[in-house]
């Protein structure tokens, strides 16, 4: 039986359960092999937008929910911070549902004393706030990309090739998308500064990242549609970003590998002493 790793904290976001593109098999595998004292669900766990258009809910989606509820019953502190796709859960802010605490945002203190603001991030997405219909239209276009992505990876599997995300590649190389991501990241960093936090942990844009920008740590969980990534905190307060697709589980600790933008780039890790200009 494969080793089960235990972390002080795990952050996961953007499962989009209720869609055909949710990478549920990878997600279940991650949940089976990783435990934590605290588990943050950083929004878009359910996809209410997709479920309102058509119902797609497999048994494996139930299995994810049951696995999380079981962790909560066994003592894991589970905090659910809803996003824009599961915004209906915000009707229950402040409540505890099945031992899962529902909050709009949270402050997490790491083992080494840093205070991190944790939230989904859609509240600071200018497009969502000022022109939601454009965001919905973009979501439909994204769904078409994911459909193409499914077909592409079906062919890749036939030839024994590993998973590769077409939608992630386009997002990382299209100038307008890169600019939108940069604007979002800058907004999140500024929010952390305003709240006197040492860093921010978010989701929303489906781009896994961890970097130090001057005095602020910016960390994005990524998603379980394209990248299959998670943020974890070790017992000494170190935070790392894991890419579950590329990990061979021997050992279960690897750094984020940006294989989409540059397949020859070395694995990237973050040090709390590393600084980068905003």
Mean pLDDT of 163-177: 58
Give the model's pLDDT for residue 55: 83
Domains and CATH numbers, the chain: 5-243 (3.60.21.10)
CA 257/CA 260 separation, integer angstroms:
8
Percent of the chain topping pLDDT 90: 58
> In a 3-state reduction of DSSP, which class is residue 13?
coil
Structure tokens at 163: 């998973």
- Give the residue, 135 or 164, on which the prediction is more confident: 164
- Give the residue, 53 or 250, on which the prediction is more confident: 53
Least trusted range by pLDDT, from 16-25, 96-105, 243-252: 243-252
Q: Report residue 77: phi and psi, to 5°.
A: -80, 110
pLDDT 10s digits, 198-230: 999 999 998 999 999 999 999 999 999 988 999
- pTM score, two decimals? 0.75
> In a 3-state reduction of DSSP, which class is residue 25?
helix
The band of 53, judged by pLDDT with boundaries at 50, 70 and 90, is confident
208 burial (CB, 10 Å; 0-12 / 13-18 / 19+) is: buried
CA 151/CA 271 separation, integer angstroms:
38
């Amino acid at each position: 039986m494969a080793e089960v790793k235990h972390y002080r904290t795990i952050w996961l976001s953007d499962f989009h359960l209720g869609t055909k593109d949710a990478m549920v098999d990878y997600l279940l595998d991650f949940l089976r092999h990783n435990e934590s004292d605290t588990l943050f669900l950083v929004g878009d766990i359910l996809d209410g937008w997709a479920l309102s258009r058509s119902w797609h809910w497999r048994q494996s989606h139930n299995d994810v929910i049951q696995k999380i509820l079981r962790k909560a019953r066994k003592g894991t502190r589970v905090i659910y911070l809803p996003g824009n796709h599961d915004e209906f859960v915000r009707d229950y802010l402040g409540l505890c549902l099945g031992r899962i605490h529902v909050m709009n945002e949270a402050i997490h203190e790491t083992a080494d004393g840093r205070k991190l603001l944790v939230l989904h991030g859609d509240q600071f997405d200018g497009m969502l706030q000022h022109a939601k219909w454009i965001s919905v239209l973009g979501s439909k276009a994204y769904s078409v990309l994911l459909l193409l992505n499914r077909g592409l990876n079906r062919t890749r599997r036939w030839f024994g090739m590993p998973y590769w995300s077409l939608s992630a590649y386009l997002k990382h190389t299209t100038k307008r998308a890169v600019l939108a991501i940069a604007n979002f990241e800058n907004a999140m960093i500024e929010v952390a500064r305003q709240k006197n936090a040492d860093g921010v942990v978010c989701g929303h844009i489906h781009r896994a990242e961890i970097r130090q920008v001057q005095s602020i740590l910016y960390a994005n969980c990524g998603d379980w549609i394209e990248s299959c990534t998670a943020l974890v905190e070790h017992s000494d307060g170190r935070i790392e970003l894991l890419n579950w697709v590329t990990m061979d589980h021997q050992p279960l600790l690897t750094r984020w590998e940006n294989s989409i933008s540059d397949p020859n780039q070395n694995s990237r890790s973050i040090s709390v002493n590393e600084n980068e200009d905003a």
